[in-house]
Structure 1
């Protein structure tokens, strides 16, 4: 399920933090919690998994904020009278709680180090699915709506964040997707998914994003955009990718994609 949220600023001069992803994720969790605090706690603390030993996933993601922003000394200044973002999720209960939470209180604050932007949710529009949830094979190109993160653990136990030009980018992307599918469908769809990078000369870019900025848990994550991915897969898998994103840290606003 995919939704487009339109946000209207409540003040005349609206700024958001440079690193707004964590703050926006917190807003989403807050709206879900307003409808069902127990479910929000489960999602935040655990998430979905095959068992206690498998990877856990939250099965939602969101895009960058849309619209034009200009850098200020310590924030991004919104140019124009609205912004918005695409929010995607796989679990129906997540969507139901989010919508209930938003309509209970349409005001949100996207705040962090350097700025707090206050908005009213003007509209939520449901976006159509790309295909039927079936096993018919399709080929589709995706482009990132937010930086796509693929990490490779180095000798020190830390992640090196890979460019789409790295030879391990696609294999690790495959593994991550297979893990998600195994949790969602109890089927990794092994051998039925093909992914290729479609380079766009001169357009590849990366962004270094700080998560939990200014706290003891601060981390920096690098994601890439300005490229496309071609996927051949069953319609169910393509819809799933659109609903949950590709790569890592989807619930922090990374790896959200749309059909190119």
Structure 2
């Protein structure tokens, strides 16, 4: 299920560039109003599958009008939209909605900047009909990674759009299968999905020097920043509708609870 929150900035006309972690923390705080136990479980543990742990929500903040300087984003308009998506209707969505009614605001505190948004409205968005062939555009980048050996040490490598598509699909399928098995508590028996990038979009991006990768710093309190690289390109998915639905609701790829992997259907 997907929610749309209409927001209006209250206490500040600026916002940190690197707000992902702080916004994620603010979402947990709202969730805490509905169920402190569930909020703590999700934050501290999450749902396990094949020794991987998943939070099963993702989000995207869209600001109406901004400019920027070297230090932060400037909110030229106070209006913003926050998308929240999760397959956990009873545990996540309902408790989060309770939090929005109780708190009626959301606070983002990052890199010394506190920005408070009033929650003006909250609505449930209609869900697309998931078929065995879907075209999606990204609202936030998709993060997929693997471990590679470099000078005798394992390092995280983040996939780029121009990497081997078979390897990307292998990692993406395993990610979706893990999520499926954790959500439904049963073994996945399907044949998986196949992703292909929008080639025309890639050609146009190359001609205009538009980047298809985005680097985001995840800044946690008192910790060194974690640099995450995500892919940003429209794509088509063919195959199992159950896995596609998991990706649509929980987010495609990893780092979803930090605001990555949120997509919408392209109906062209």
Partner SS, residue 103 of structure 1: helix
TM-score (norm 1): 0.90
Alpha-carbon offset, residue 189 of structure 1: 4.7
1:147 aligns with 2:154: no
2:94 matched to which residue of 1?
96
User: Would you say the 8 A contact 1:130–1:239 is kept in 2?
Assistant: no
Count residues in correspondence.
Answer: 252
1:222 matched to which residue of 2?
229
1:110 aligns with 2:108: yes
Point out the structure with the larger helix share: 2
1:67 matched to which residue of 2?
64
Distance 2:36 2:155 in 1: 33
Deviations along 1:46-71, whole A, 9 cap, x unmatched? 11124xx6311111001243323211
1:210 aligns with 2:217: yes
Deviations along 1:206-259, whole A, 9 cap, x unmatched? 22211125622531111121x112112344333322111111100010111111
Distance 1:219 1:18 in 2: 14
1:197 matched to which residue of 2?
197
Structure 2 segments unaligned to the other structure (5+ residues): none
1:2 matched to which residue of 2?
2
1:129 aligns with 2:138: no
Partner SS, residue 191 of structure 2: coil
Deviations along 1:94-135, whole A, 9 cap, x unmatched? 001100011001122111114221110111111111127xxx
Distance 1:22 1:166 in 2: 27
Root-mean-square deviation (CA, aligned residues, Å) is 1.9
Deviations along 1:153-177, whole A, 9 cap, x unmatched? 1212221111121002222112211
User: Would you say the 8 A contact 2:197–2:234 is kept in 1?
Assistant: yes
Partner SS, residue 158 of structure 1: strand
Structure 1 segments unaligned to the other structure (5+ residues): none
2:188 matched to which residue of 1?
188
1:252 aligns with 2:250: no
User: Would you say the 8 A contact 1:74–1:114 is kept in 2?
Assistant: no
Partner SS, residue 63 of structure 2: coil
